[in-house]
Amino acid sequence: MLYPQQNSCRSTSSLDGVWNLRFEWDADAAKGWENGFAPEKKVAVPSSFNDLYTSYSERNHWGHVWYGREFEVPDFWRVSGRRVVLRVGSAAYSAEVWLNGVFLGSHETGYTPFEFDITEKVVAGLNRFVLRINTRLTPDSVPQGEIIVNATTGQFVGNHPPGNFDFYPYGGIHRPVVIYTTGERYMESILVDTSVNTSGDADVVFRIQAGGAVATGERVKVVIEESGESAEALLEGGSASVTIRVKSARIWDIGKPELYHARIELVSGGAVADVYRQRFGVRTVRIDGEKFLLNGSPVYFKGFGKHEDFFLIGKGLNDAVNIRDFELMKWVGANSFRTSHYPYAEEVLDLADEMGFLVISESPCVSLVPDQATEKTLATHCAVMREFMLRDYNHPSVVVWCIANEPLSFQEKARPYFEKVVAASRAVDTSRPLMLVTCFGDRDTCLDLVDIIGVNAYPGWYGGGAPFTQNMNWFKGFLNLVRERAGGRPMMMTEFGADCVQGFHMLPSELWTEDYQRDLLKEIISVIRSTGFIIGEHIWAFSDFRTGQNHMRALGNRKGVFTRDRQPKMAAYFLRDIWQDDANKSA
């Protein structure tokens, strides 16, 4: 599925803006709402609906909510030979979709796009578009919700709404909604692979899949805009592979985001039937023992786990917030981040490509309880791995795929479950390593299934307050134990930190103060770096974020080194000092 693009062969039109909304309550008879409904509210798209309203029941609605709007398409879009497509960037958690009362289909998991060909369903004049979104999470879903209490570690017991994870289960249409057109013959997917030889030249392979009726003699032509190099190939069975050698290739690297652009044409009957401009970067990724190599050189990851989370809009895409986040990551000296705990918007990855940040792209499988997972859970997990890996495949910033965060991977059913997830993931891409992020490294049964081990640990916080020496001695032993179990694989600290409330101070430092957060991060990073085998430090978290209501959370998770409105705490200045010092030493 290609991202919508306006060009000489394609037209796009945004459906973002103010839509109608109606909650579906248990007492409602929602029959016929797919043909239109009496709205209760106005809602912004893209955004979460939860923080827009003032009633408790609406903010924490756990179930179905209806979105609707009307639109027109230009008459010239409806001429013979044009194809009209409706694309939703994401709808959380799942959605059923109708156009003019005709059911188009459904989609599950709230972080990947889905689309429908509406060529035969769109009409002249007003078209009525309706989505029934289900925010409820169950043991069948990814992520899970409504888990039986005695199966969990206890951390999320009592969450409201009952998501089995430590962030708020925002619902709604979180990413852009677009209608676009192509010709009857069109390109439906483009995957780009790059390799670099010893002379510095790059072989760039374009794998192209066409859609629509197959015609004989069709071909694809690829031109690299920056160099003028080109090649073409005939379509066979609707697909083609085109290889171009780029001489003395400019390499995409951390802080040096060299990007290329390819113009790809689908030629049918001597005429250009479709065109697409695909951006890519030339870089290599490889595991060497306990090291992660980018372009042949070892990488030490410095950065954060973070969330798509902001005031009022929840998880809704906001370009201004995203730019601010990247500017803060540059300011503090980070080189990477993890899309915890779900695939982020494509627009975020575009910025990472352009600014030279490394990204660990993560699935929405967080805090999975394998012994309560069903065949549907597994099928959904495998499907969403394929969806977001194909979506993000061409981003040079994406260097690792993460299959899950903090699953209960010591349970009896964990290993057979994750064997299938790993197989499904490797069927999509073997050029990037797979990661599993664990907080059970001393008893995890799945570490040997993946290429990189992410370790989450909170010495000095959960059960904290004791002298740092006591906590750090335990931490050193824990890391060495996990290393033994990792079997020579690279290990990375993917979460560590402490909650703190901005403005709280105490000398000597105590829990919840800015002083304690800063001091604890200093101690933990010192231990991490002293090991010699850890390949990175991702602090939890980049900024404070909203969670479900829970007695352990004071109006959300306060582990951010920036506040929720993106202002620095003391810890941010400490990280800036050490990470910029690292950069100066390596310059």
Residue spans of alpha helices (H) in 237-394:
319-332, 346-355, 375-392
Residue 221 burial class via C-beta count within 10 angstroms: exposed 0-12, middle 13-18, buried 19 and up: middle
- 534: Cβ–Cβ under 8 A, 6 or more apart, which residues? 479, 491, 492, 493, 528
Cα dihedral 315, 320, 326, 328, rounded to 10, equals -100
Alpha helices in 133-259 (DSSP H): none
Catalytic residue list contains 495: yes
Residue type, 88: V
Query: In what order do the strands lie in the sheet containing 114-117?
Result: 11-14, 177-183, 82-88, 114-117
Q: E strand or H helix at 187, and its extent?
A: strand 186-196
The reply to whether 184 belongs to the active site is no
27 CB-near residues (< 8 Å, 6+ apart): none
Across 521-548, b (16+ Cβ under 10 Å) vs e yields bebbbebbeeeeebbbbbbbbbbbbbbb
Residues 6+ apart with CB under 8 A from 308: 174, 315, 317, 342, 344, 345, 348
Q: How far is CA 400 from the centre of its chain?
A: 12
Cα-Cα-Cα-Cα dihedral of 426, 427, 428, 432, to 10°?
20
* Residue corresponding to tokens 């906001």: 318
- Within 13 Å of residue 572, how many CA atoms lie on the same side as its CB? 21
What is the number of residues in the chain?
A: 587
Determine which helix (DSSP H) or strand (DSSP E) holds 89, and give its type and residue range.
none
Dist CA 392 CA 404 (whole Å): 17
Judging by beta carbons within 10 Å of its beta carbon (0-12, 13-18, 19+), is residue 416 exposed, middle or buried? Answer: exposed
Question: Which of 133, 156, 130, 165 minimizes the C-alpha distance to 47?
Answer: 133
**Strand ranges across the sheet with 202-211:** 186-196, 202-211, 239-246
Stated as kind and residue range, the H or E segment containing 583 is: helix 570-586
Tokens 């349970």 belong to residue: 411
Question: Catalytic one among 108, 495, 514, 537?
Answer: 495
Q: Kindly report the three-state secondary structure assignment for every residue of 431-490.
A: CCCEEEEECCCCCCCCHHHCCEEEEECCCCCCCCCCCHHHHHHHHHHHHHHHHHHHCCCC
The residue from 108, 115, 406, 537 that is catalytic is: 406
CA distance 243 to 246: 10
Task: Give the residue numbers marked as catalytic.
Answer: 406, 495
